[in-house]
Amino acid sequence: MEPSTLATETREERPTRRNITGLALTALGVVYGDIGTSPLYALRECFYGIKPLNASVANVLGVLSLIFWSLMIVISFKYLVLLMRADNRGEGGILALLALLNPWQKKSRRNTLLVGLGLFGAALLYGDGVITPAISVLSAIEGLHLASPAFGHYVIPLTCLVLMLLFYFQKRGTGSVGAVFGPVMVIWFICLAILGLRGIIGEPRVLAAVNPLHAARFFRDNGWHGFMVLGSVFLVVTGGEALYADMGHFGRLPIRWAWFGCVLPALLLNYFGQGALMLGHPAQGVHPFYQLAPPWALYPLILLATLATIIASQAVISGAFSLTRQAVQLDQCPHVRIVQTSSEEIGQVYVPAVNWCLMLTTIALVLGFRSSGNLAAAYGVAVTTTMVITTVLVFFLMRERWHWGLPASVLAALLFLTVDLSFFCANMLKISSGGWFPLTAGVAVFIFMTTWSRGRGILDSHLYHRNVAMEAFLQEIAQSPPYRLPGTAVFMTGRPQGTPPVLIHHLTHNRVLHEQVILLTVITREVPRVSATDRLAVTKLTEGFARVIVYYGFMQSPNIPVALRQCEPYGLITDSETTTFYLGRETPIPTPKVPGMSIWREKLFAFMTRNSQQATAFFNIPPDRVVEIGQQVEI
C-alpha cells in the first residue's frame, strides 16, 4: 500500500453562526441518535438488570454520580475535546485514526500490532451495528407492555416488523428522510429534559450526585457487586465511537455545539429525573423512563421513542456501510457492490450485502434474546473494546503527530485507560450472558479481513515473482514489433512498476497490441478523499505506451472512464467505442505445498475471491468493453 501525506489538522473552516446552527440541528439526528436513546434502558439495567441493585438512596446517588462523570470524562473530554482534533482531512473514526498513524508506511512489529488493533476495533463495530437496532427498537416498543399487559404479546412481532421496514428502506438512502431526523431528535431531547425536570422538582436532593464522592462511596459500600454494575453504567456512553466516526459529515464545531448546548443537558436532566423517581417511588423504578411521563403522554411517548430509536439505528447502519467502503478501499475486504445514494453527499452509500446480513442477524437477536434487558447483557462488550483500542492509538498519535511530551501523553492515556479498562473488565463479565455474540461477530469479521489482506499479498507475490522491467519489455517490443490494432488498450494492474502479468499473458497468446496502450493502476491513499487536482500521475513511455496512476481516498469510489477522460490534457485521447479494458482474473487454488497461510484460511480466501464483486462493476468499467484473462494460481 502506497504511503501518503497525511494532515492532522484539516480545512480551517470559518462557517457562519447560522450554518453551524443548521449543521448542529442535523447532527442531532445522525450523530447523537445512539447515545440519545440510552435513557430508555441504561439506568433501568443498573437496578433491574442481570445483577440488580437495591434502589437505596446511597446506591441511586452513587450510580448517578458514575453516569455524570462517565459522560463528562469519556464523551465530553475524550471524544468532544481531544479526539475531535484527530481528524484525517475532516474524517473521523478508528480507521481514519489508524490512517493518521500510517503504520503501513514501514514494516515493523509495532506497526503490525497497530494495524491489527485498528482492524480488530473496526471489526467490532459491526457487532455494535447489529445490537444497536435490536436493543433500541425493542426497548421503545416494550413501553406497550407498561401501557397494558395485553399488548405484551405484540412487542416481539412489532419490533421485527419495524426492523424489517427499516432495513428495507435503506436502499432509498438517508438523504430522502434525513431532513426530518434533526427536528424529530430536537423534540426527543426536549422531552428528555422536560421529563427529567419533572422528576427532579419532586426530589431535588438527587442533584447531590454531581459530587464524585458518591461514586467512591458506592464502590466502598458495594465492592465487587458495584464493579459489576459498571457494565450497565457503560450503556450511557455507547454512542461515543459512532459520534467520532460521524465527524466528517458535519465538522467538529457543529457536533460540539449540539453536545454541549442540547444533548448533554437533556441527558443529564433525564438521568437525574429517573434517579429522583427511584428515590421518591422505588416501586416504579422497573421502567423509570416511561414512568416519568404522565399517563396521558404514554402512547405519544412510545411513538416518539420508536422514531428516535429508528433514527439511532439508521445512524449505526449507515456507519456500517461507510466502514465497509473504507475496508474495501484499503484492500482489507473483498469488492462488494456499493451504491452511491446521493449525488451531493459522498458519505451516503448503500451496501446491499451488508444490509441484508445486518437485518437477518438483528431479527435473530430479537427472537433469541426476546427483551431489551437480555440484550443489554450482550451490549457494550464490543464498543468498550473498541474504546480501549482507540485510546491506545491516540497515545501514539499524541506522541508522533501532535508531538506531546511523554509525561503529558502518559497522563492523558492513563486517565482514559483507567476509565476504559474499568468498563472493559466489567463488560467482560457479561460474556456468558450474551456478551460472547459481539466478540464472536468481531472476531469473525477480523478473520475475514486479515485473511483477505494476507491472501491478496500471497497472490500478488506469486503473480509478480518474475517481474519483468518495463524498459526491457519495451526494448523487446521495439526489436520485434507485434501487429498493432487501432484504438486503445487499458491494462489494469495492481502495481505501478514493472510489466503487468496480464499484458505479458495477452501478448504471448494473441501476439497483437493496440496502437495506444495504457497501464493503469488505482491506488487508495490512507486519506478520506483525494482532490481532483491530485488525482492523476501520467508518465509517457515509448512504443505508444503510457503509465497512469489514479489516486483515490478510502471514502471515494473509483470511476475509471472518468479518470481516463481527465488524461486528455496529458495527450492520452481515449474513445469509449475503441477502448478495450484488459483485466486479469486469478483463481486461487488452495494447496498445502505453498507456505503462507493455513489450508482452512486458503480455502476461505478462495471462497471470498469467487464471490467478490467483478472488477468491472467496482471500477465502473463498461462490461461490453472488457476482456478478462484468467489464470489459476496455487497459494
Which pLDDT score, from 0 to 100, does residue 336 have? 81
Tell me phi and psi for residue 340, to 5 degrees. -80, 115
Highest mean pLDDT of the ranges 97-111, 371-385, 540-554, 601-615? 540-554
> Pairing between strand 339-340 and 349-350?
antiparallel
Task: Please give the residue that has the higher pLDDT: either 49 or 13.
Answer: 49
Radius of gyration of the chain (CA): 27
Largest distance between two CA atoms of the chain: 95
Backbone CA torsion sign across 311, 314, 316, 322 = negative
Summarised one tens digit per residue, pLDDT across range 245-301 is: 777 667 788 888 889 989 999 999 999 999 999 988 877 667 888 889 888 888 899
Q: Give, in order, the Cα–Cα distances in Å from 633 to each of 93, 279, 602, 604.
A: 36, 69, 12, 15
Which pLDDT score, from 0 to 100, does residue 269 have? 96
Summarised one tens digit per residue, pLDDT across range 231-255 is: 889 989 987 887 887 776 677 888 8
Question: What is the arithmetic mean of pLDDT over 182-200?
Answer: 92
Task: Please give the residue that has the higher pLDDT: either 526 or 386.
Answer: 386
| Low-confidence winner among 21-30, 208-217, 511-520 (lowest mean pLDDT) | 21-30
Nearest-10 crossing angle of helices 406-428, 381-400: 170
Q: Provide the 8-state DSSP code for 203.
A: -
Q: In terms of DSSP H, where are the helices of 150-246?
A: 155-168, 175-202, 213-233, 240-245
Q: Provide the 8-state DSSP code for 378.
A: H
Beta carbons of 59 and 282 less than 8 angstroms apart: no
The architecture (CATH level 2) of 36-429 comes to Up-down Bundle (1.20)
| Helix (H) or strand (E) segment spanning residue 170 | none
Highest mean pLDDT of the ranges 207-221, 441-455, 554-568? 207-221
Residue type, 266: A
CA distance 312 to 148: 26
Question: What is the arithmetic mean of pLDDT over 373-389?
Answer: 81
Summarised one tens digit per residue, pLDDT across range 590-599 is: 887 767 788 8
Question: What is the arithmetic mean of pLDDT over 450-478?
Answer: 81
| Grid coordinates belonging to 372 | 431489551
Instruction: For the beta carbon of residue 61, count every other beta carbon within 10 angstroms.
Output: 24
| Grid coordinates belonging to 267 | 441527558
The 10 Å CB-count burial string (b at 16+, else e) for 360-392 is ebbbebbeebeebbbbbbbbbbbbbbbbbbbbb
Which pLDDT score, from 0 to 100, does residue 208 have? 94
The 10 Å CB-count burial string (b at 16+, else e) for 524-533 is bbbbbbbeee
Question: What is the arithmetic mean of pLDDT over 604-623?
Answer: 81
Question: What is the arithmetic mean of pLDDT over 490-515?
Answer: 86
| pLDDT over 70 at 568, yes or no | yes
Q: Mention every residue, 6+ apart, whose C-beta is less than 8 A from residue 286.
A: 44, 48
Q: In terms of DSSP H, where are the helices of 94-154?
A: 94-101, 109-141, 143-147
Question: What is the arithmetic mean of pLDDT over 515-539?
Answer: 86
CA distance 322 to 320: 5
Summarised one tens digit per residue, pLDDT across range 323-351 is: 787 778 777 888 787 776 654 455 567 78
For the chain, the average pLDDT equals 82
- Report the half-sphere exposure of 566 (CA within 13 A, side-chain side): 17
Q: In terms of DSSP H, where are the helices of 464-528?
A: 470-479, 501-510
Which pLDDT score, from 0 to 100, does residue 140 have? 80
CA distance 118 to 96: 10
Which pLDDT score, from 0 to 100, does residue 48 have? 80
Which pLDDT score, from 0 to 100, does residue 196 have? 94
Domain parsing of the chain, residue ranges: 36-429, 462-634
| pLDDT over 70 at 526, yes or no | no
| pLDDT over 70 at 5, yes or no | no
- Report the half-sphere exposure of 36 (CA within 13 A, side-chain side): 38
Nearest by Cα to 186 from 239, 136, 261, 133: 261
Question: What is the arithmetic mean of pLDDT over 546-556?
Answer: 85
Highest mean pLDDT of the ranges 3-17, 42-56, 401-415? 401-415
Which pLDDT score, from 0 to 100, does residue 463 have? 67
Question: What is the arithmetic mean of pLDDT over 374-396?
Answer: 85
| Grid coordinates belonging to 142 | 416494550
Residue type, 131: I
Q: Provide the 8-state DSSP code for 83.
A: G
Summarised one tens digit per residue, pLDDT across range 162-180 is: 899 888 877 766 555 555 6
Which pLDDT score, from 0 to 100, does residue 347 have? 54
Q: What is the dihedral of CA 531, 533, 537, 538, to 10 degrees?
A: 140
Please return the burial class of 16, using the count of CB atoms within 10 Å of its CB with bins 0-12, 13-18 and 19+: exposed
Q: What is the dihedral of CA 147, 180, 380, 169, to 10 degrees?
A: 90
Question: What is the arithmetic mean of pLDDT over 490-501?
Answer: 85
- The beta-carbon contacts of 395-400 under 8 Å, at least 24 apart in sequence, are 396/101, 396/114, 397/8, 397/86, 397/97, 397/100, 397/101, 400/101
Summarised one tens digit per residue, pLDDT across range 399-440 is: 888 889 999 999 999 999 999 999 999 888 888 777 788 888
Question: What is the arithmetic mean of pLDDT over 46-54?
Answer: 78
Q: Which residue has the cell 449507515?
A: 318
Q: Provide the 8-state DSSP code for 88.
A: B
Q: In terms of DSSP H, where are the helices of 379-481?
A: 381-400, 406-428, 436-463, 470-479
pTM comes to 0.74
Beta carbons of 614 and 570 less than 8 angstroms apart: no
Nearest-10 crossing angle of helices 298-329, 17-30: 100
Summarised one tens digit per residue, pLDDT across range 151-164 is: 778 889 998 998 99
Which pLDDT score, from 0 to 100, does residue 2 have? 35
Which pLDDT score, from 0 to 100, does residue 19 have? 67
